[in-house]
Amino acid sequence: GYQPTDKGEVLKGRRAHFGGNLSLTYSDPVMLLRGWKHHLFDEWGRPYLDAYNNVPHVGHAHPRIQAVAADQLKRMNSNTRYLHPAQVAFAEKVLSKLPAPFEVCFFVNSGTEANELALRLARAHTGAKGMVTPDHGYHGNTTGVIDISAYKFNAKGGVGQSDWVELVEVADDYRGSFKRDDANRAQKFADLVDPAIAKLKDKGHGLAGFIAETFPSVGGQIIPPKGYLPAVYEKVRAAGGICIADEVQTGLGRLGDYYFGFEHQGALPDIVVMGKPIGNGHPLGVLVTTRAIADSFAKGPEFFSTFGGSTLSCRIGKEVLDIVDDEGLQQNAKAMGDQLMAGLRQLEAKHACVGDVRGMGLFLGLELINADGSEATGICSYVKNRMRDHRILIGSEGPKDNILKIRPPLTIDSDDVEMIVQTLDLILDEVATL
């Protein structure tokens, strides 16, 4: 067995036994062995501030999650072919966070699977296959959802675009075709859906639907202008399609002001997909939809997932949502997000390489630019790695990988927000001297 401090050995073993396209973050990778709230600890017990991971939504190693998992594993763990009160309790908790038309929950094991299922529901309900989706999106790692994930199918060595998929430009009003000084930009971005639907029809495809990360994350932490999604949804529905909101990154209170991103847009999707944070580390994906759409799907073969909706999963999922409420974590996301945003705005005013600061609650992005305004991929990588040297974990995103992504667990506190801002300030000073 490995000694806990043998980081080099672990790396060697990983190279020997894992695929080469499983990437590691940082030029000097971190090995993390323990966690608590928004902190992680390496093989030497050194602390890192986790300002990146959204899966530990209520914090790493939360005692209530430990307790509920241990309790259920002691009793039994089985599947949805048997009755258990935890299944309905979890469904009712999820539905309590959503408006009335949502009545039916499907429990699966990941965001990928939930999106895969969303495609099947859209096809079952409409009898069509065509999908429209924003460019640079990501919805998961299986064959079906890779086809609607431009971030993957258009990447080097990717499978390319399928003929039943049409892309629209991301509603990025910083770098995209319509900028923030254009009062009609939401409508103009939405209008791009018309030719996409027409193209599908030309190719002989009906419209099954539209899927988008409500706030595009891998696209670069984009907040679409208000009114974008309702305008898109109207067009999609007029063409017979259904509207899928991938809330894997944006749901469950992270945005502070909203429990789900679609609320900010004033939009009502037909399907909402949740993942990552909803199990706080336990693999769990949830799809919620209307009775009408669930009924269309129910005309087909039985739907079953061995582990999806297991007793253990249902108990953990409900516990996560209860903790968000009991600990006021949505309110904390709002307060800490506002403090972080205020600090980042000061950095934007001070440092020429910060082109844009955007986000909501604890879903934030800093777009780094070169002197000519182009995407500063190199600077972004430098800053991310230097933050790691200071033991603060953040990420990077965007088509040119020049947007710093800050997305901590919802437990983060005021001192740690201050530490992020002050450390970034120091490192951005270094950038000026590079």
In terms of DSSP bridges, do strands 130-134 and 207-213 run parallel, antiparallel, or are they unpaired? Answer: parallel
State the Cα–Cα distance between residues 412 and 350, nearest whole angstrom: 25
Strand partners, 363: 360
Query: One symbol per residue from 255 to 284: x for binding ligand PMP (CB under 6 A), - otherwise; what is it?
Result: --------------------xx--------
Number of chain positions touching ligand PMP (CB under 6 A):
14
User: 13 in helix, strand or coil?
Assistant: helix
Tally Cβ neighbours within 10 Å of residue 44. 10
The residue with its CB nearest to ligand PMP is 111
* Residues near 326 by beta carbon (within 8 Å), at least 6 away in sequence: none
CB of 222 to ligand PMP, least distance (A): 12
Q: Angle at the Cα of 411 (from 408 to 417), degrees rounded to 5? A: 60
Per DSSP (E only), the strands in 234-350 are: 242-246, 271-274, 285-289
Task: Give 277 or 355: the residue with its C-beta nearer to ligand PMP.
Answer: 277
CB of 218 to ligand PMP, least distance (A): 7
Among 217, 290, 296, 411, binds ligand PMP (CB under 6 A): 217
Query: One symbol per residue from 103 to 142: x for binding ligand PMP (CB under 6 A), - otherwise; what is it?
Result: -------xxx--x----------------------xxx--
Among 213, 367, 397, 416, binds ligand PMP (CB under 6 A): 213
State the Cα–Cα distance between residues 5 and 28, nearest whole angstrom: 15
Task: Give 87 or 217: the residue with its C-beta nearer to ligand PMP.
Answer: 217
Residue 313 interacting with ligand PMP (CB under 6 A): no
State the Cα–Cα distance between residues 195 and 208, nearest whole angstrom: 16
Torsion of CA 50, 56, 60, 66, to 10 degrees: 180
- How far CA 78 is from CA of 71, 82, 283, 313, 318, in Å, comes to 14, 8, 15, 10, 16
Task: Give 56 or 111: the residue with its C-beta nearer to ligand PMP.
Answer: 111
Task: Give 217 or 265: the residue with its C-beta nearer to ligand PMP.
Answer: 217
Q: What share of residues in the chain are helix, strand, coil (percent, to 5)?
A: 40, 20, 40
Segment interacting with ligand PMP, rule: CB under 6 A, options 41-49, 90-98, 244-252, 402-410: 244-252
Segment interacting with ligand PMP, rule: CB under 6 A, options 122-130, 158-166, 227-235, 245-253: 245-253
Task: Give 178 or 259: the residue with its C-beta nearer to ligand PMP.
Answer: 259
CB of 35 to ligand PMP, least distance (A): 19
Task: Give 110 or 290: the residue with its C-beta nearer to ligand PMP.
Answer: 110
Task: Give 213 or 416: the residue with its C-beta nearer to ligand PMP.
Answer: 213
State the Cα–Cα distance between residues 260 and 252, nearest whole angstrom: 6
- Judged by the rule CB under 6 A, the positions of this chain that interact with ligand PMP are 110-112, 115, 138-140, 213, 217, 246, 248-249, 275-276
